[in-house]
């Protein structure tokens, strides 16, 4: 982990792309401008963070901007980890895809799209990955209820057919 000072230095180097630094429980997090995610990751790759361990989403409901995407970077020679975080509003959840530089992000960006509805621009094959293709809604959002999906059991079949008519 870069220590708190190292994180500040890193943020200073990135200039106005870095919005905020969080140092919590020995984990360094850099909040960046969503429009500059590709340049930030490229700059960090040049600094040695050459392995993208994970891309995952999070919903900060009720805070705004609601959706977050986290990129977990790893420097294998310095044994250093760094979390890059960006926040996008729920009505325009658009982020540039990083799949051209980091092929590993392919499945993971699809999962974030599937679960949170974040659109990754430039992703070649942005489809749902875990949910069925005709599914509506993004189930990992905090306002999506658990058990919100009706399940058809055989015993209720007659009722369902009736309601459909």
Partner 1 sequence: MSPVPTEPPTLSEYRRGEQSITLAPVEEQLVGVRGETTDELFTLNFGPHHPATHGVLRLLVTLQGEVVRDIKPIIGYVHTGIEKTAEDKAYWKVIPVVERMDYLSYYFNAMAFCGAVERLLEVEVPSRGQYLRVIHLELNRIASHLIWLGTSALDLGASSIFLYCLRERELILDLFEMSSGQRMHTRYFQVGGVIEDIPGGFEPKLREFLKVMPARADEYGAILNSNEIVLQRLRGTCPLDAETLLGLGVTGPLLRAAGNPWDLRKATPYSSYDHFDFKIPVGTVGDNYDRFAVRLAEIYESVHIIEQALDGLPEGPYITEDRKVALPPRHELATSMEALIYHFKLVTEGFRVPPGEIYNPIESPRGELACYVRSDGSSKPARVHMRDPSFVNLQALAHMSRGSYIADMIATTAMLDPILGGIDR
Question: Strand pairing of 80-88 and 51-59?
Answer: unpaired
User: b/e map of 83-119 (b: 16 or more CB within 10 Å)?
Assistant: bbbbbbebeebebbbbbeebeebbebbbbbbbbbbbe
**Judged by CB under 8 A, does residue 23 bind partner 1?**
no
**Judged by CB under 8 A, does residue 38 bind partner 1?**
no
Euclidean distance between CA atoms 130 and 111, whole angstroms: 7
Pick the binder of partner 1 from 27, 42, 89, 143 (CB under 8 A): 27
**Judged by CB under 8 A, does residue 137 bind partner 1?**
no
What part of residues 59-88 is at the interface with partner 1 (CB under 8 A)?
Answer: 59, 70, 72, 76, 79, 81, 83
- Give me the least distance between CB of 127 and partner 1, in Å please: 10
Pick the binder of partner 1 from 130, 143, 157, 159 (CB under 8 A): 130
**Judged by CB under 8 A, does residue 124 bind partner 1?**
no
Which residues have a Cβ under 8 Å from the Cβ of 118 and sit 6 or more positions away? Answer: 57, 67, 69, 88, 93, 94, 95, 112
Supply 146's token pair: 């658990």
State the residues that interact with partner 1 by CB under 8 A.
24-25, 27, 29, 50-54, 56-59, 70, 72, 76, 79, 81, 83, 102-104, 106-108, 111, 115, 128-132, 139-140, 142, 144, 146
């Amino acid at each position: 982990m870069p220590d708190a000072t190292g994180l500040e230095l890193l943020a200073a180097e990135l200039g106005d792309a870095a919005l905020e630094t969080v140092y919590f429980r020995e984990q360094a997090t850099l909040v960046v401008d969503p429009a500059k995610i590709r340049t930030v990751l490229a700059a960090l790759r040049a600094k040695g963070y050459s392995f993208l361990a994970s891309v995952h989403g999070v919903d900060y409901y009720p805070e705004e901007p609601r959706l977050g995407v986290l990129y977990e970077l790893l420097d294998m020679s310095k044994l250093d980890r760094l979390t890059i975080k960006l926040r996008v509003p729920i009505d325009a959840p658009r982020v540039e895809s990083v799949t051209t530089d980091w092929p590993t992000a392919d499945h993971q960006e699809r999962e974030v799209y599937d679960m949170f509805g974040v659109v990754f621009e430039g992703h070649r094959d942005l489809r749902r990955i875990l949910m069925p293709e005709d599914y509506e809604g993004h189930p990992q959002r905090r306002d999506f209820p658990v058990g919100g999906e009706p399940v058809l059991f055989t015993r209720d079949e007659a009722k369902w057919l009736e309601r459909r008519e």
